[in-house]
Amino acid sequence: MKTKLVDHRYGKSRVRVMKILRDGATHTIKELDVAVALSGDFETSYTVPEGDNSRVVATDTMKNTVNVLAHQHLGVETERFAAVLARHFVTQYPQVQTATVETGERVWDRLTIAGEPHPHSFANAQSARPTVRAVATAAGVALESGLTDLLILKSTASGFEGYPRCEFTTLPETKDRIFATSLTATWTWSGEPADYNIANTAILAALLAPFAENYSPSVQTTLFQMGEAALAACPEIARIHLAAPNKHCLLINLAPFGLENHNEVFVPTDEPHGQIEATIARA
């Protein structure tokens, strides 16, 4: 039987690194979970029976590279570090055609003690996890930023009406419901902003404004409005992908207890959930 290797990549995942950025007595914490994946001229390491490792960059080397380049280059902007790291593998090893670096960040917020920001004490209070993806080839580096697990909820100004009904439809139409989701957003950079952190903050603020301020006739409508707002807020991004799984809040029937439930008491659940996604780009 004839076979062939159709696709391959390998790398090192869950490389944990924390760095203290010192500005005198004031510290900033950067904690990343880094994944590196390489593809290129590695076919013989898979297909030669006796094993040809002459082109294989050891995954332990990848881990060490993450640590050393973090020491040299990791600062407050994760995007710049991810681009340097991905570019390193393409330029250092001629057998590497594509290097992909993905990071997730644990955010440490500075504690406020007696009304003052503490210079070196922090708490991890956020649900959202910032992400970065850098893909390096000989042609350059493609960069994406985003976040996952951003829990957002509005208790009113959301409805769902006018959808097709059939013998299997039991969902009642409503003009007033809870809209809750765990948002994942990824935006693609077409240019380099003066400061990635400032740009990312502006994008997040732009995303949240239509969610909070506009009436939502559907999750689909709101996602499109959020994407439009993000693109308007940051000219350096070309497109944005949004994924919003519904966190359903089901109204509890209190009639057996002689009580009326006027959209007050609910059962929160996320199984099963609706999954709504959209990619919005500049025309």
Looking at the annotation, which residues are catalytic? 12, 59, 248
With beta carbons less than 8 A apart as the criterion, state whether 155 and 111 touch. no
Give the orientation angle of helix 196-213 with respect to helix 219-233, to 10 degrees.
Answer: 150
Q: Which residues neighbour 61 within 8 Å (Cβ) at sequence distance 6 or greater?
A: none
Closest CA to 30 of 81, 87, 68: 81
Is the previous residue joined to 210 through a cis bond, with omega within 30 degrees of 0? no
With beta carbons less than 8 A apart as the criterion, state whether 133 and 100 touch. yes
Distance CA(253)–CA(263), nearest Å, equals: 10
Distance CA(282)–CA(277), nearest Å, equals: 17
Q: How many CB atoms lie within 10 A of CB 5?
A: 11
With beta carbons less than 8 A apart as the criterion, state whether 198 and 251 touch. no
Burial 167-186 (b: 16+ CB within 10 A, else e): eeeeeeeeeebbbbbbbbbb
Q: Which residues pair with 268 in a beta bridge?
A: 249
DSSP string over 138-198: TTEEEEEEEEEEEEEEESSSB-B------TT--PPPBSS--EEEEEEEEEEESS--S-HHH
